[in-house]
Amino acid sequence: MASESERERVQQLQSELREHAYRYYVLDEPTISDAEYDRLFRELQELEARRPDLRTPDSPTQRVGATPLDAFRPAPHRFPMLSLQNAFSLDELRDFDERVKRNLGLEPEAVVEYIVEYKIDGLGISLTYTDGVLERGATRGDGQTGEDVTQNLKTIRAIPLRLAEVEGRPSACEIRGEAFITKDEFVRISQGREERGESPFANPRNAAAGSIRQLDSSITAQRRLQAIFYDLRTDEPPPFETQAGLLELLSEMRLRPSAPYRVVAGMAEVDALLEHLDRERHSLPYDVDGLVFKVNSIEQQRRLGTISRSPRWAIAFKFQAERGETTVNDIIASVGRTGAVTPVAIMEPVLLDGTTVSRASLHNMDEVERKGVRIGDRVVIQKAGDIIPEVIEVLADRRTGEERPFIMPTECPACGGEVAREEGEVVYRCQSPTCRAKLEGSLEHWASRGCMDIDGLGPAIIKQLVEQGLVRGIPDLYRLQHGQLAALERMGDKSASNLLAAVEASKRRPLGRIVYALGIRHVGATVAAALAEHFGSLERLAEATTEELALVRVVGPVVAQTVRRYFDDEAVRAMLDELRAVGVEASTAESAPVERRPFVVGKTFVFTGALETWTRPEAEALVQRLGGRASSSVSGKTDYVVAGPGAGSKLEKATRLGVKVLTEEEFRAAIEGGA
């Protein structure tokens, strides 16, 4: 390729990838498949490796891979990062409104416009952009000087390395917001830590803070942080007149602005609003610990100014973290996929934040002892980060003397195998390789979304399959017969056929997903993907030495050793042979160059009714290979419904919503024609 066209291609790829990352991480509305994104990304990586002079610091490839630091450099803030005064009641909010009016020289009857944003419970960050390029990312620190965490913040894909060039973009500015971890991600990280016997993070905030204050940015990259922004400071005259306008500009520059928000006139109807938002917040995917009321007018903000490090124009209203008191009726030992035996408190059910809570993990024996929980105790519980119920205090003065300590069983409650604690670990594990609870756990993991994605194979079905001896290991899933499935509880003829088709479709998945699905200790989705990319096949991975494994970027010596030991296990080798024999094989869909079909790229398809040429999973895989998306339900976002004979409610809905409907024939002609 001529050097000029290489330059053009690099620029084009960078801008396309930026656009797709924005759609994916900020808007949550991707228009291409992950595979297609990966393909573009790899093409850019390869080009930049060949032409390092074309690799700019704001290239999408420059998010990870920096060498670990010894310490963070201090990062003085150009504008101080202020803190907020707090209000804990409606009266205190009304007092704030009165102070604002007094300080603005307004009559008590005057109405000030406020914007009400959620107060996100994460870690405050400040991004410095010069001419649209991210130069530095810092923590808040003491408000005057923070820590330079640029390398780590660059791994967060919701943080643009370059801002969109829009009217009003200041040439130099500091943008403030919150880096955080969603509730789902917190659950994912917590489970991983519990399985590995690491001490749990108390809540998503701590998890976010711990992830950002990592000297090794590859660890931050594995934690899937998010970021939302609410402030912009610049020496230049601001191009907005209100806080709402500021949020608008952030959004135009491709940052995710603080939202949803409300603009209200005065405090007259604020009690209804508080009640509404306190309910609404539970449906947000991340934790909020309150609201922030801000005077909407920037001019009024300027006139109000700041007092002792807090703006006079804003106040935080804290939600009550709901706590409850209950009795621990029992402490049971629960066995997970890795054989970890976890003590779980079974409690008298209590209503907390709208859901009934009756179980709380006590994590491990060290935690049980540290908290001093006994069976029969009265305890105070709270939801850690609003989601995971946690025993926070034992009410020791309420003891009757009847309470009993929990004793870790020496035999596995699921299979009777030996339970032991390995040296240097806090976790007890069932040592039996044939443990039923372990098997059920590993089948659930295998079938889960991020792994082999077997739709319809949930815990209840797995339990029956294991109990009836139909499945003794993962390969048995691929030997199931229609009749065996149809005879299970809550299964019919149709659902058995669907499940069989889903099992069949799962035979071909990208290598990274298969490696993750095996459930090797310490190997999460990120490490699995890196291993897959490095070794290219399961055979080569299984043969790799500890030294070779440790060469993979995200793999440390401990992980390398665990992986090596896993593949040394005779039983594992036999299982891998069996998997190959039943036809489980890594698909090349994600690594092979994809044939793009303009007709399909970025479009969402729903298949319904009987198809002749393909099964439904095959047609869905085909669409993905061609650069589109497949979905199982029809919505406003569906571009095409491909309907075969027998199509019912989906076809009806498509017609109602005005979604284009194709016959199988038309669909085939369109993709074959390459139109």
Q: How far is the CB of 308 from ligand IVH (least distance, A)?
A: 13
Q: According to the binding rule CB under 6 A, does residue 526 interact with ligand IVH?
A: no
Q: Is the peptide bond before 645 cis (omega within 30 degrees of 0)?
A: no
Rounded CA-CA distance 205/406 in Å is 31
Alpha-helical regions (H) of 569-663: 570-582, 616-625, 649-657
**How many residues sit in the footprint of ligand IVH (CB under 6 A)?**
16
The angle at the Cα of 387, spanning 386 to 390, to the nearest 5 degrees, equals 90
Stretch binding ligand IVH (CB under 6 A), from 113-121, 344-352, 458-466, 563-571: 113-121
Write down the number of H helices and E strands in the chain. 24, 26
Can 119 be counted among the known catalytic residues?
Answer: yes
Q: According to the binding rule CB under 6 A, does residue 616 interact with ligand IVH?
A: no
Stretch binding ligand IVH (CB under 6 A), from 117-125, 448-456, 467-475, 528-536: 117-125
Among 227, 232, 250, 292, which residue interacts with ligand IVH (rule: CB under 6 A)? 292
Stretch binding ligand IVH (CB under 6 A), from 2-10, 152-160, 310-318, 585-593: 310-318
Question: What are the distances in angstroms from CA 641 to CA 602, 629, 668?
Answer: 15, 12, 13
Residues whose CB falls within 8 Å of the CB of residue 91, separated by 6 or more in sequence, listed in order: none
* Residue number with CB closer to ligand IVH (285 or 433): 285
Q: According to the binding rule CB under 6 A, does residue 662 interact with ligand IVH?
A: no
One character per residue 204-233, x = contact with ligand IVH (rule: CB under 6 A): --------------------------xx--
Q: Are 519 and 446 in contact (CB under 8 A)?
A: yes
Q: How far is the CB of 87 from ligand IVH (least distance, A)?
A: 12
Rounded CA-CA distance 199/109 in Å is 54
The angle at the Cα of 278, spanning 272 to 281, to the nearest 5 degrees, equals 135
**Strand, helix or coil for residue 326:** strand
* Residue number with CB closer to ligand IVH (177 or 343): 177
Among 38, 97, 147, 178, which residue interacts with ligand IVH (rule: CB under 6 A)? 178
Q: According to the binding rule CB under 6 A, does residue 80 interact with ligand IVH?
A: no
Q: Which of 485, 499, 508, 518 has its CA nearest to residue 583?
A: 508
* Residue number with CB closer to ligand IVH (142 or 369): 142
Question: What are the distances in angstroms from CA 413 to CA 91, 123, 408?
Answer: 54, 41, 10
Among 214, 258, 296, 364, which residue interacts with ligand IVH (rule: CB under 6 A)? 258
Q: According to the binding rule CB under 6 A, does residue 298 interact with ligand IVH?
A: no
Stretch binding ligand IVH (CB under 6 A), from 78-86, 151-159, 402-410, 441-449: 78-86
Q: Which residue is nearest to ligand IVH (CB)?
A: 124
* Residue number with CB closer to ligand IVH (118 or 535): 118
Which one is catalytic: 119, 183, 294, 383? Answer: 119
Stretch binding ligand IVH (CB under 6 A), from 40-48, 114-122, 205-213, 627-635: 114-122
* Residue number with CB closer to ligand IVH (253 or 292): 292
Question: What are the distances in angstroms from CA 412 to CA 44, 329, 333?
Answer: 51, 21, 8
Q: Exposed, middle or buried: residue 239 (CB in 10 Å: 0-12, 13-18, 19+)?
A: middle
Q: Which of 85, 107, 78, 91 has its CA nearest to residue 306?
A: 85
Q: According to the binding rule CB under 6 A, does residue 202 interact with ligand IVH?
A: no
- The CA-based diameter of the chain, rounded to the nearest angstrom, is 84
Q: How far is the CB of 116 from ligand IVH (least distance, A)?
A: 9
Q: Which residue type does 418 have?
A: E
Q: According to the binding rule CB under 6 A, does residue 368 interact with ligand IVH?
A: no
- Which 311-340 positions form the footprint of ligand IVH (CB under 6 A)? 311, 314, 316
Per DSSP bridges, beta strands 314-318 and 85-87 are parallel
Q: According to the binding rule CB under 6 A, does residue 44 interact with ligand IVH?
A: no
- Interface with ligand IVH by CB under 6 A: which residues? 82-84, 117, 119-120, 124, 140, 178, 230-231, 258, 292, 311, 314, 316
List residues with catalytic annotation.
119
